[in-house]
Structures are given as C-alpha cells and as structure tokens.
Amino acid sequence: MALIIDGKKIAAGIREELKTEVAALKAHLGDVPALAVVLVGDNPASATYVRMKGKGCEEAGIRSIQHTLPGSATQEELLALVDRLNGDPAVSGILVQLPLPGQIRESAVLNRINPVKDVDGFHPVNVGKMVAGDEDCFFPCTPYGCQILINSVVKDLKGRHVVVVGRSNIVGKPIANLMVQKNRSANCIVTICHTAAPDIGYYTRQADILVVAAGKAGMITGDMVKEGAVVIDVGANRVPDPADPSKTMQVGDVNFDEVAPRASAITPVPGGVGPMTIAMLLKNTVKAFRLQRGL
C-alpha cells in the first residue's frame, strides 16, 4: 500500500514558516505583504476559494484585501481595478479569481497585471521566465505545490520520467515545465499527454511520477499505473455522494482504491494537492513583497 502524501500537513508547515518570515519583516520594516484578491460575480466555488485565500493570508500575517465586482461588470471596469491595484504601492500581489464571466476576456485581464505583482504566475512574462528557468518570477501555485509534494517523496529526481495528463495553462503545461528544468528539484524526463492521445494508458504506464490534471473523475484506473509509481492527483471533481445522493463529494481524477495499492506514494483528494495551492500563493505574495523592495 502506498504512502499517503499529506498535503495538508506539508502546507501547514509552509504556512508556519511564512508566518515567522512575515513577523520578521514586520519587526524589521514595520510593514507586511498584502494580497488583493478580485472576485467577479457570485460563483459559489470561486467565492469559497476567495474566502479561503483571505483566511490563509490573515493566519500568516499577510494583509488581505478583497474586491468584489458584480457578474455584470465590464472588461473595462475590471481592467480599471487592476490598473489601480498595479499602481498601489501597498499592494504586493494581485489575484483575479478565474473563471471570469463570458463578457470578459481572461487573457486581457491576466496580461494587464503588473508581472511583479502576478502571484498567480499567469502573466506571459512570468510564464516565459519560468520556461527559461529564471528564479525571479512566480510559479503558478498549483504546479509549484505539486513539485513540492513530489520532492517530499523522491529525493533524487534526475532522469525520472514524469508523465503529465492534461495540458491546461494553470496546471499541465506549467508542471511539465517545472519538472524538466535542470535543477535539483527537477531534472526529469517529461511527457505531456492529453485528450488527443488514442490510449492515455500507453503513456501513464511509463510514468515513475504521474501527475493527473485532466478534470475527469476517476479516469486513472489501476491498470494505467506502473507498480511503484508516485501519483499526484490534481483533480477536484464534485460528484454525487453515494452515501447520500442529495449531497456531493469531492473526488480526484485518480481511482484511489485501484491505484493506491500499486503506487509507492499517492496524494489523497481532498487533502493532497488542494491545500498546497493556497500555501504557495502565500509564498508567492511574500516573494512579491521582497522582489518589490529589492530584498
């Protein structure tokens, strides 16, 4: 049976370290990092994420600023808010919660955020720097968290084969880029596969480390995983709860019961990758504060 990778515990450790770091910044500079989170509309899942991000900030001593625009807000209104936050020296990091309503072009908004405040790591400048292997940029929070989870169980990653299922800009593409870099936390052989593959299992069975970010509940079955693989499940799908069909429950993209007995280590859902995302957002916010001050 696999080691269950406790993302909640690892994330809590990072958040404790950040709390200490922020307290030291406050003692030395009399100032703390601040994160502005922008929510457009009233998507319940987005509202929950935004609330959790605010709470995470407060616990770490980071100042949290929330802006909520109505679902009918125009692109111009949102861009005007981003401009204001870009120009506010008290704001270290800006996060616009996705998805955005249909009348707003996401890329127009993400591209408008000042790259030194782009704690989501979605701005093309940060994407480019990450691909180039630069350190003075922001890595997208979920893939960054996945990398830390992988490093927690595999000490020598050199030459290991990472197979990523999914090619989103938020997870699939960035985790592949992080794991291919020539550094001690990566240096892997990387394959990305996606819906165009006639047989996903052909690829996943070759993985020493399998990262699944496809958004399809339970799609990775036991026969698709090599014995001893490390499995990172980024899926966060809501499905009817078999115990009470009037309720929903969260499940990953990996069929845990089938895959766990074959894997050497696996992340649970919930409690695996999920908690890491906010921890890395807080880490990026502290990094933004330091970069802006040349610290």
119 makes contact with ligand GUN (CB under 6 A): no
Smallest separation (angstroms) from ligand GUN to the CB of 119: 9
**Which region among 95-103, 127-135, 228-236, 240-248 touches ligand GUN (by CB under 6 A)?**
95-103
Report yes or no: 278 and 142 within 8 Å, Cβ to Cβ. Answer: no
Among residues 6, 9, 26, 53, the one annotated as catalytic is 53
- In 3D space, the residue among 264, 266, 203 whose CA is nearest the CA of residue 233 turns out to be 266
Using DSSP bridges, classify how beta strands 237-241 and 244-251 pair: parallel, antiparallel or unpaired.
antiparallel
Angle at the Cα of 32 (from 31 to 36), degrees rounded to 5? 125
What are the CA-CA distances from residue 253 to residues 42, 221, 232 (Å)? Answer: 26, 9, 10
Q: How far is the CB of 96 from ligand GUN (least distance, A)?
A: 6
Distance between CA 171 and CA 169 in Å, rounded?
Answer: 6
By CB under 6 A, residue 142 contacts ligand GUN: yes
Kindly give, in sequence order, each residue whose CB lies less than 8 Å from that of residue 21, ignoring residues fewer than 6 positions away: 286
Residue pair 126/117 in contact (Cβ under 8 Å)? The answer is no
In the complex, what is the shortest distance from the CB of residue 138 to ligand GUN, in angstroms, rounded to a whole number?
11
Three-state DSSP class for residue 248: strand
Could you tell me the smallest distance in angstroms from the CB atom of residue 280 to ligand GUN?
9
Quick check: 170 binds ligand GUN (CB under 6 A)? yes
Output the smallest distance, CB 109 to ligand GUN, in A.
10
120 classed as catalytic: yes
For position 165 contacting ligand GUN by CB under 6 A, the verdict is no
Residue 167 structure tokens: 């090619």
Task: Name the residue with the smallest CB distance to ligand GUN.
Answer: 98
Q: What is the largest CA-CA distance in the chain?
A: 57
Of 27-35, 89-97, 220-228, 267-275, the window that binds ligand GUN (rule: CB under 6 A) is 89-97
Selected range binding ligand GUN among 26-34, 93-101, 152-160, 250-258, rule: CB under 6 A: 93-101
Q: Could you confirm whether 83 is annotated as catalytic? A: no
Active site residue 223: no
Task: State the residues that interact with ligand GUN by CB under 6 A.
Answer: 95-98, 120, 141-142, 170
The residues that are catalytic are 53, 97, 120
